[in-house]
A and B are shown apart, each in its own frame.
Chain A
């Protein structure tokens, strides 16, 4: 990828074309959302069923922008020191001991203020993803599964996302030369606070339609036979409508097609489907239910 300034595309359509060249097929809404996120310098909040390509979008955008992708995986109890920065305490202590040893050897006395200043030197600063994204430009910051973090963390994000800067008491303010493109993803396990959503562009991702899913399969698995791609996409579509505990996402569609390729299937029949069902259904109850009605599922 060539190094580009902030926006490689002059319109959503051009951006969609650029994304397509990385293997990510974006529809109108998605391309417009990503385009606006760059133009308006706003975070993009992607919500949708698992497996609809939220995380992949951030990866594709980073590729299009020729930017580094910096990922922050959120979890329960994540806090600022895991997201922003931390001090390298062991090295600070060693440094302190080294100063003391040097001072006692030469017989001079240490000045507490200058010792402290030398301890909070940027070289002892451990940059965590958000700080790293502010220091790196261009960069794409992916804040993944923000719905797993708790309310306090969301409040903390608000500040970073609007200011594009963080202040570290001992060092001062770190401001991004060029704000990173921020993509937040959520699986809706919990309602994210409206204050956070208000600062973002809101993109709801649905499962792709049949044609697009076939295209995705071809772009991800270049050697896939035409007929197998259409059969897999069609079968997954039916699976999504059949009231499963975990309806398959696009990632599962790709997995399934790849599994079928690996077992050497030229087309999808009851035997090959039964052998590879584990790639697409992730619950025993679902697999049991579908296994007995495979022939109706595959009849097109």
Chain B
């Protein structure tokens, strides 16, 4: 009988475990290799992601910004005046493009080019209009100055009138006829803010040029910076408070040194006072605005145009994030100084539906009450609008 020595047993044991140890070692090496490869892959993935993110962030237009808005209107309005023409119209009312360019953090250019009523040209209904083109300079972190062609800081809609931002297919008649929006001029303006929620605007710019032999309604006096007569300039100042969420209180005063740009006629200086309040809390919204003109001279006093006044109030309620209803009562009179009834009023009710936050479909009904012998348009409007 052969005896097995301890050495032999140890040798046999070692020989038996060698393959297992080798396999373990091989597995460890493989895991280390995989870990290293995984680290390399993650490093490369992160590097790739960083590069893609950088490319995406610079894939835009850099300092150039482009935006725009537009709105198509369908008006179905019956003229209650005997023999008067109805308004049954499909009109691409506005097509607007914004172009902005940021030269530095403190100097920027902004412009707005508009095609109104789709088709412009001689004897055509449309127009091509430059509504903004100014350079703005930050003077410090709270004040800036702009020079060029800009929208005047007056009323609610004059500066902010992208279709998804307001109720009603057509812009309200008070701001249209009394302020008169959309109202742009050329000149210079200081803007700034102070306290918690106060801001101011102070500008010097071209004035209105109203024909003293006509109705002298202020809307007809806009010169639109088209070789504008700058014999007599105007100044505008606004104070605004937005220090409570949902609330805006603002007042604008403007002085026109000569409404006709001609010192030799019977139309002199004029002053505009406008004030408005906006309050939105939860689903409820309220807008209210009052504006009045005081024109000097015997010519406006003769036909009542020495006082031109309007106001409106507009409650609204958003039933959902995408659907809101509103009602608005508007009163305006471009001959409020007259002893006869020259006052217009219009009541609107309707809804906005936003399928996307920047796209809106609007429907409203309107009912007018007008002076005797004037066209009175009652009916409904449908619109689709967008901004980007």
Binding partners A and B? no
